[in-house]
Amino acid sequence: MPETVTDPSALSSALETLAAAPRLLVALDFDGTLAPFADDPAQVGALPGSWAAVLTLQRARDTEVVLVSGRPLDGLARVTQAPDGMALVGSHGVEWRVDGHDEDALTDDESARVQRLGAALDEVVSRYPGVRIEHKPAGLGIHTRGVDAETAAAADAEASRVAHEVDDAVLERGGKDILEFAVRHVTKGDAIDRLRELRGADAVFFAGDDVTDEDGFRVLREGDVGVKVGQGDTLAGYRVTDPAALTEVLKQLARARATR
């Protein structure tokens, strides 16, 4: 794994260089990155300073912001109150809202697989107190926030076993207090690649906090800037401690981009 830089002055100078790119794509995870974690995911919001910087970036010339989240697209749009022109990618890359058009389009076969998995996992989750299941448009999430570690581990293990029994092509991904099952193998990295292409971006900024964001860091190239928020192994070039620290990073990038 390459060295991740925590020195703020190194990140600061990388941001100045990045801000000079002719066309810039700013891709951002939401939960744990723009927004701190909260017990009720419907109640969280982006930190005000971060969101102000995001809006400044969105208005800046030759600059595009995209929010790339594991949340379903609808929920992401609701919780962020993102302005109409802002690109949104939900369900880890399956659902898209770009240029005002929604795109999700699971095939009938994929939808049937989600249904089957959902029915089987409903049954598993019903036997573990406190564990919750989220039925997403493109898969399922098993939530164990606030559940004791032993119960969470047992529920995850059984959910995993059952999901693979029901669907041998299921994609499993672990995150913070969540285990997810999806039927389409796309990642945040695929979303970043596609948007880079679509927008003809010369450089990309990407920030994220969770394991699934590593797919995004993996597709970054020379001259891009990746920022991991918080602890954990990462492929990102830079690291900040928490969403509040990322606010300062976004402010600097927005200022540099808006005044170039």
- Sites of contact with Mg ion (CB under 5 A): 29, 31-32, 209-210
Q: Could you give the residue ranges of the DSSP H alpha helices within the chain?
A: 8-19, 48-59, 73-80, 108-125, 149-166, 188-199, 214-218, 243-258
Q: Please, what is the minimum distance in Å from the beta carbon of residue 89 to Mg ion?
A: 13
- Which residue's Cβ has the minimum distance to Mg ion? 32
Q: How far is the CB of 229 from Mg ion (least distance, A)?
A: 8
Q: How far from 127 is each of 88, 118, 154, 165, 168, CA to CA, in Å? A: 35, 15, 11, 18, 23
Least distance (Å) between residue 242 CB and Mg ion? 12
The secondary structure of 98-139, three-state, reads ECCEEECCCCHHHHHHHHHHHHHHHHHHCCCCCCEEEEECCE
Q: Give the residue with the Cβ less far from Mg ion, 31 or 190.
A: 31
Is the CB of 31 or the CB of 95 nearer to Mg ion? Answer: 31
- Find out whether 26 and 63 touch, Cβ atoms under 8 Å: yes
Question: Nearer to Mg ion by C-beta: 29 or 224?
Answer: 29
Nearer to Mg ion, 71 or 113 (CB): 71
* Both structure tokens of 103: 């795109």
Q: Which is nearer to Mg ion, 31 or 215 (CB)?
A: 31
| CB neighbour list of residue 231: distance below 8 Å, 6 or more residues apart | none
Choose between 90 and 118: whose C-beta lies nearer to Mg ion. 90
Q: How far is the CB of 61 from Mg ion (least distance, A)?
A: 29
| Strands 132-136 and 139-143, sheet pairing | antiparallel
- Smallest separation, CB 187 to Mg ion (Å): 14
- Report in angstroms how near the CB of residue 238 gets to Mg ion at its nearest: 16
**Distance of alpha carbon 192 from alpha carbon 32, whole angstroms:** 19
Count of alpha carbons within 13 Å of 53, Cβ hemisphere only? 23
